[in-house]
Amino acid sequence: MKTVEGRRSEAGQGLAEYALLIALIAVVAVATLLFLSGSITSVLSVVGDSL
């Protein structure tokens, strides 16, 4: 049987996996924004000019 301490370490492992997943998503989002920054600036300029 597993002890209470064993369950705590499994919960901590799950939290660490979620943290790594969120960090990976954040890195991909920042990289995408940096890659598309020129296009985004152009679109926002067109929208701003049309207003």
Q: What is the pLDDT of residue 13?
A: 82
**Which amino acid type is present at position 37?**
S
Question: Residue 32 falls within a domain, yes or no?
Answer: yes
Residue 4 lies in a domain: no
CB contact set of 33 (below 8 Å; sequence gap of 6+): 40
DSSP class of 49: H
Q: Which amino acid is at 13?
A: Q
Which pLDDT does position 7 carry in this prediction? 59
Residue 8 lies in a domain: no
- Would 12 be classed as within a structural domain? no
Give the pLDDT confidence score for residue 1 in this predicted structure.
Answer: 47
pLDDT grade, residue 51 (50/70/90)? confident
DSSP string, 1-45: ---HHHHHHHHHHHHHHHHHHHHHHHHHHHHHHHHTHHHHHHHHH
pLDDT in tens, 4-49: 555 555 767 888 899 999 999 999 999 999 999 989 899 999 999 9
Could you list the residue range(s) of the whole structural domain that residue 37 is in? 24-51
